[in-house]
């Protein structure tokens, strides 16, 4: 899959320069003029880095970032005018990953984007799967930014299902992921953990039926 960068910027001259620089480096780049549009695009998925102008006409960039962080861990780089530099700390507190002050060279911005992408590719970092954020190093999974308090086995099951959304995993395959040795009854064990997992998804506000039962086959996570 190509790397896709979203730039939310209402000044089309700036946006065009950035789009050109990103595309000439082989990246896919999408553009939107409004904060609400940016939120819709990020929600749609497939965005690797968001470049976000602080001074957007509808929602300011800080508000857009705050709303993105409610459901996504996608890296965010703010673009800010000089007189907005005072807000730097606020932006970082809101979960921005980097900051570029205008005027900037498109080349510099591309370098910052690349730096973010390298970090995202690091094995310890967050993996995003739709509404879910997986922190492999910490064995934690979040749903729309909310941490799910999972046991070791629930984590193993959900992490396995999230590897390939839509694919059906047999109970034995799921056992292979999280258990050192097979218990006497793989079926019962997995079913029990799926049941508690669904309850935790429901408690977090997610649809518990995202984990679908396939009679005689196993379980899948609906994409
Ligand atoms: Ca602007």
Using one digit for the tens of pLDDT, what is the confidence trace for 27-37?
A: 999 999 999 99
Residues with CB under 5 A from ligand 1 (ion): 10, 53, 55
CB count within 10 Å of CB 122 equals 9
Residue 99 backbone zone (phi > 0: left; psi -120 to 50: alpha; other: beta):
beta
Give 64 Cα–ligand 1 centroid separation in angstroms. Answer: 13
Let me know the angle formed at the C-alpha of 161 by 158 and 167, rounded to the nearest 5 degrees: 165
Burial pattern 6-36, b for ≥16 Cβ within 10 A else e, equals bbbbeeeebbebbbebbeebebebbbbbebe
Q: Which of 45, 85, 100 is nearest to 68 (CA)?
A: 45
State the 10-residue block means of pLDDT for the chain, 223 residues long.
91 95 93 97 94 93 91 90 62 74 90 85 69 84 88 90 90 79 70 94 93 94 89
Instruction: Give the whole-angstrom CA distance, residue 85 versus residue 131.
Output: 32
At 102-145, the pLDDT tens digits run 889 998 999 999 988 887 765 556 788 888 988 877 788 988 88
Is the full-model pTM beyond 0.85?
Answer: no
Give 95 Cα–ligand 1 centroid separation in angstroms. Answer: 20
């Amino acid at each position: 899959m190509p790397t896709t960068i979203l730039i939310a910027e209402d000044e089309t001259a700036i946006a065009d320069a950035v789009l050109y620089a990103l595309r000439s480096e082989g990246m896919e780049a999408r553009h939107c003029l409004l904060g609400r549009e940016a939120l819709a695009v990020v929600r749609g998925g497939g965005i690797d880095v968001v470049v976000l102008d602080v001074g957007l006409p509808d929602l300011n960039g800080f508000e857009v970032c705050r709303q993105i962080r409610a459901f996504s861990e996608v890296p965010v780089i703010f673009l800010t005018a000089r007189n907005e530099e005072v807000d730097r700390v606020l932006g970082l507190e809101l979960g921005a990953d980097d900051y570029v002050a205008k005027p900037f060279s498109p080349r510099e911005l591309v370098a910052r984007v690349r730096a973010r992408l390298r970090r995202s590719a690091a094995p310890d970092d967050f993996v995003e799967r739709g509404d879910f954020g997986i922190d492999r190093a910490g064995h934690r999974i979040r749903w729309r930014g909310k941490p799910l308090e999972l046991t070791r086995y629930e984590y193993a099951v959900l992490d396995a299902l999230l590897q390939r959304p839509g694919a059906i995993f047999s109970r034995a395959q799921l056992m292979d992921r999280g258990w050192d040795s097979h218990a006497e009854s793989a079926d019962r064990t997995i079913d029990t953990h799926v049941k508690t997992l669904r309850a935790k998804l429901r408690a977090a506000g997610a649809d518990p039926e995202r984990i679908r039962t396939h009679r005689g086959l196993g379980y899948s996570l609906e994409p």
